[in-house]
Structure 1
Amino acid sequence: MTRKRAQTPDWNRLFDFALGQAGLFTTKQAAESGYSPQLLVHYVHIGKVVRIRRGVYRLVHYPLAQDEGLVTVWLWSEQQGVFSHETALSLHHLSDVLPNKIHLTLPADWKHRRFRVPPGVVLHHADVATAERSRPAAIPVTSPLRTLQDCARAQLSPELLHQAISQALDRGLIRKSDVARIQDATSPTGHRKR
């Protein structure tokens, strides 16, 4: 019987994971790079990495990123979540919305999973198609049109929604024909009152 040799830790591979994630990486990514949980604990003790939350670490010498909190939540979601609703409005710089919670949409089949949601995170469950996603930073965000539709369904204040629609039109992020689809989302039946 042959024993499988332990993979040699590969700092470059770990750094490649962290590079596109604001200096953060997961325990799973560390394992794929040859780092055992024991070696990670050692690196925490000697100050090479910092534990951000369970299963998420940051390289100490990587510059702090403005969106580190969002990347941490995205990594917590096993990279399956998409930032949506008011969080996406803010990331797209649409309206004067100042979200006090992080909105994250997880796949619909995650609805019945049991797990501890990070503080300050509001979960939504829906399947977000590739065409309804954008990536303005290290994290996936719902497209401007999907974001506006989600905010309309969630009954964002009419003033902020109107402001966001106007700004999206002015910046060419949506078309005039999309406005009706957004307005359809405001009605409980999914259709505008005529």
Structure 2
Amino acid sequence: MPRSRIHELLALAEENDGLVTASQARAIGIVDSVLARMTRRGKLARAARGVYRIPYFPTDRLSQYREAILWARASHGPEKVALSHETALAVYEISDVNPARIHITVPKDARLRRTKPKGIVIHRGTLSPRDVTTHEGLPVTTVAKSVLDVMDTTGRLGLARQAIKDARKEGYIGAAEANRITRQLNQHAHDGGRVQAATEHVTA
């Protein structure tokens, strides 16, 4: 294998926060067996199935999220996935959430053929362009979408309200947007309470 291709691979990884996928390597003529050999020799470290990291490249709090997105993209295309739910709140650093797992939303019809890494939760749903933004170079659901998703899946109204407050303080959303999301949260909580009351009445 020409050294120029190896150098090209490492340069590609350095441009992507120390990460590279097997498909990117194949695109420049480096086959999987070469990646395996580089991993055995310590030149690369396997981050997830189909995703490799340069061992000496510094990591930060977002490194695990970059790895997760690369894995999902390798499975189902570059523009159809986003960090979401509690993970999105953690990326924005709003609320005190500290999720033990990484939440990613993919299209309902996505067929993720690769083995899912431990610690990743896949949500299936429709992501319109207005639901996704880029933050710190990562595709992530908007503050509004993230807060409402957390409320839908966990019912943690206090966490959702804290996220809105923090997002307003950090300048991610304005007063009008904060009020709109708060109204939606309150309606969600009200509807949830009515459903619970109806259920308790039926089962009593």
| Same fold flag (TM > 0.5) | yes
**Among residues 8, 15, 28, which one is paired with 1:12 in the alignment?**
8
| Contiguous gaps of at least 5 residues in structure 1 | 1-7, 189-194
On the 8 A contact 1:132/1:143 being kept in 2, the answer is yes
Q: Secondary structure at the match of 1:118?
A: coil
* TM-score under structure 1 length normalisation: 0.79
The gaps in structure 2 that reach 5 residues or longer are 193-204
Could you tell me how far apart the structure 1 residues matched to 2:9 and 2:25 are? Answer: 9
Structure 1: distance between partners of 2:115 and 2:121: 12
Count of residue correspondences: 180
Corresponding residue for residue 31 of structure 2: 36
**Is contact 1:14-1:33 (8 Å) kept?**
no
Would you identify which runs of 4 or more consecutive aligned residues in structure 1 move more than 6 Å? none
Match of 2:158 in 1: 159
Going by fraction, where is helix more abundant, 1 or 2? 2
Where does residue 84 of structure 2 map in the other structure?
Answer: 84
Structure 1 counterpart SS, 2:47: strand
Instruction: Specify whether residues 118 and 41 from structure 1 end up closer, same or farther in structure 2 by C-alpha distance, changes over 3 A only.
Output: closer
Equivalent of residue 181 in structure 1, options 165, 179, 184: 184
Give the percent of matched residue pairs that are identical in Structure 1 and Structure 2.
28
Q: How does 1:39-54 map to 2 (within 5 A)?
A: 39-54=34-49
Q: Partners in 2 of 1:114 and 1:46 — Cα distance?
A: 28
Q: How does 1:95-134 map to 2 (within 5 A)?
A: 95-110=95-110, 116-134=115-133
Question: Secondary structure of 1:123's match?
Answer: strand
How big is the alpha-carbon RMSD for the aligned residues of Structure 1 and Structure 2? 2.5
CA deviations over 1:92-139 (Å, ceiling 9, x no partner): 1111112122111111112x6565322122211012122222222242
Q: TM-score, normalised by structure 2?
A: 0.76
CA distance in 2, matches of 1:24, 1:185: 40
Q: Residue type of the partner of 2:90?
A: S
